Amino acid sequence: MATGTFDIIHPGHITFLREAKKLGDELIVIVAREKNVRHKPKPVVPEEQRRRVVEAIKYVDKAILGDEDDMFRPIMELKPDVIVLGHDQHFDEDWLKEELRKRNLNCEVVRIRVKEDCPLCSSHKIIERILEKYGGR
Amino acid sequence: MATGTFDIIHPGHITFLREAKKLGDELIVIVAREKNVRHKPKPVVPEEQRRRVVEAIKYVDKAILGDEDDMFRPIMELKPDVIVLGHDQHFDEDWLKEELRKRNLNCEVVRIRVKEDCPLCSSHKIIERILEKYGGR
């Protein structure tokens, strides 16, 4: 299981999902709800649209929207063997492991260290390029 | 074979590629070179990055960059059975068929009529939303 906002898809996402898929048989991705994105600017693209693009990526077996009230609810329902974090994802592994333990969720937490190198390898950089190019209204 | 700019991937692209794949065994996508995009604003995302995201889509077997000088060169090399156009792609079917005939390329030209309905179903709309949201520099 992997999670993310996936606002504007770029090769960094692709690498993350490819590496995540290698860690199991089935990759389910939880796409962040707009309401729950607080650690960075709100996404531009509506959540259902983000979910559909993620689900169209080769390595993804299924993409679902997260739970607006309890991020652990889909994890408890699906009981993944592995939870995969991206190299720059803000979750603290120890905190996550402890929260999983409290809920009797016996799953591994693995952080993917592979960092993609491409010109605009984040939604933020793509947005910045757009603002530079179009100078806004 | 399909072609496009694929600047910021959205469900409209996904539907197009899914429908295109149904028309053959293998789907090769030619991603437009920046230099050749003249019928609309230049893409934001660099061409190789666009190619990599397109190639990561489930329905795409291979994505290649177009030829900067002759759009027919990859078509002559690959000799597809079907060339698939999107519902809003600017190519005129009759013109395309005639150009293919001149080059002894015996391939069908099919326009996908399925039009996706999603809130930001074009790279342009996503860019507009970004400009509205961030008001530019």
| pTM recorded for the entire structure | 0.94
Strand partners, B28: B62
- pLDDT of A38 reads 87
Q: Copy the structure tokens of residue B77.
A: 């090399």
What residue of A is the nearest CA neighbor of B129?
A: A44
- Quickly state the pLDDT bin for A137 (edges 50, 70, 90): very low
Local structure of A5: helix, strand or coil: coil
- Beta carbons of B126 and A45 less than 8 Å apart: yes
Alpha-carbon gap, residue B129 to B134, rounded angstroms: 8
A59 min Cα distance to partner chain B (Å): 8
Q: Is A6 annotated as a binding residue?
A: yes
Domain boundaries, chain A: 2-135
**In the predicted structure, residue A1 carries a pLDDT above the cut 70:** yes
Alpha-carbon gap, residue B2 to B16, rounded angstroms: 9
- pLDDT of B137 reads 47
Reported ipTM: the value is 0.93
Residue B33 main-chain phi, psi, to 5 deg: -75, 145
**Which CATH superfamily groups domain B2-135?**
HUPs (3.40.50.620)
Q: Identify the residue with better confidence: B40 or B62.
A: B62
Reported as a single tens digit per residue, the pLDDT across A45-91 is 999 999 999 999 999 999 999 999 999 999 999 999 999 999 989 88
Reported as a single tens digit per residue, the pLDDT across B66-99 is 999 999 999 999 999 999 999 989 889 999 999 9
